[in-house]
Amino acid sequence: MPARKHRFLTRYNAASLNEFLYYARGIPIDHLCRMLNRHPRTISRWTHGHAVIPPWAVATLRLQILEHQLMRDQMGYTALEREYERKREAQRPPTIPLKQRTPAANETVYEPRTRHQLSLPGFAL
SS (H, E, C) the chain: CCCCCCCCCCCCCCCCHHHHHHHHCCCCHHHHHHHHCCCHHHHHHHHHCCCCCCHHHHHHHHHHHHHHHHHHHHHCHHHHHHHHHHHHHHHCCCCCCCCCCCCCCCCCCCCCCCHHHHHCCCCCC
pTM to 2 decimals? Answer: 0.60
Integer CA distances (angstroms), 83 to 71, 78, 92, 93, 94, in order: 18, 9, 14, 18, 19
Separation of first and last alpha carbons in the chain: 89
Predicted local confidence at residue 83, as pLDDT = 94
Please give the residue that has the higher pLDDT: either 77 or 1: 77
Please give the residue that has the higher pLDDT: either 104 or 92: 92
**Domain residue spans in the chain?**
17-91
Is 48 buried (19+), middle (13-18) or exposed (0-12) by CB count in 10 A? exposed
9 has a pLDDT exceeding 80? no
Q: What is the dihedral of CA 18, 22, 28, 31, to 10 degrees?
A: -100
Calculate what percentage of the chain has a pLDDT beyond 90: 54
